[in-house]
Amino acid sequence: MSGIETVKIIVEAEKEAAKILEDAQTKASEIRKRLDLLIQDQREETLRSAEKETAVILQRAEEEGKLESASYEKESGERIRQLVSKASTKKNAAVDKLVSIVLEG
């Protein structure tokens, strides 16, 4: 093999090596680019899932709130009815007392 042929072979090998490295850089760039997409997908999925859970939590709170309010309203409504009924039986005595305050001081 002549000297020129040897140099040619080495130059070809260097070119091939450079191509290998260039391909590796391209692949690395693609991997990094894919990362952005992956993170974006992950973010969308996580947020979608959180929003879904949020909606469930709020819906449940709304329903529980309604139930608790309704129960409280029922109890309080009954208490007010009893208060009114009890007071109604005391009206005459109250009138007597007030009349006596006005007329007797």
Partner 1 sequence: MSETSKFTEDILTAAKEKAQNIVTDAETETQRALEEAKTHLSREADDIIRNARTEAESVKRRQMSEVRHRLKLQEQQEKSKILSEVLERTKKRIIEIADDEGKYFPYLVGFVESGIRELGIENVLIHFNANDLKRIDKGKLEREVTKKLGKPVKIEWAKEPLETSGGVIISSNDGKTRIVNTLDQRFEALESKLLIEAGKSLFGD
Q: Is the dihedral of CA 36, 42, 45, 46 positive or negative?
A: negative
Q: Is 17 near partner 1 (CB under 8 A)?
A: yes
- Distance (Å, whole) CA 68 – CA 75: 11
Q: The tokens of 27 are what?
A: 């692949």
> What is the C-alpha to C-alpha distance for residues 62 and 54, in angstroms, rounded to an integer?
12
- 57 contacts partner 1 (rule: CB under 8 A): yes
State both tokens at 90: 């005391």
| Residue 69 in contact with partner 1, rule: CB under 8 A | yes
What is the nearest approach in angstroms of partner 1 to the Cβ of residue 1? 7
Q: Tell me which residues in 28-47 interact with partner 1 (CB under 8 A).
A: 28-29, 31-32, 34-35, 38-39, 42-43, 46-47
Determine the Cα–Cα distance for residues 35 and 13; give it in Å rounded to an integer: 33
Residues found near partner 1 in the complex (CB under 8 A): 1, 6, 9-10, 12-14, 16-18, 20-21, 23-25, 27-29, 31-32, 34-35, 38-39, 42-43, 46-47, 49-51, 53-54, 57-58, 60-62, 64-66, 68-69, 72-73, 76-77, 80, 83-84, 87-88, 90-91, 93-95, 97-99, 101-105
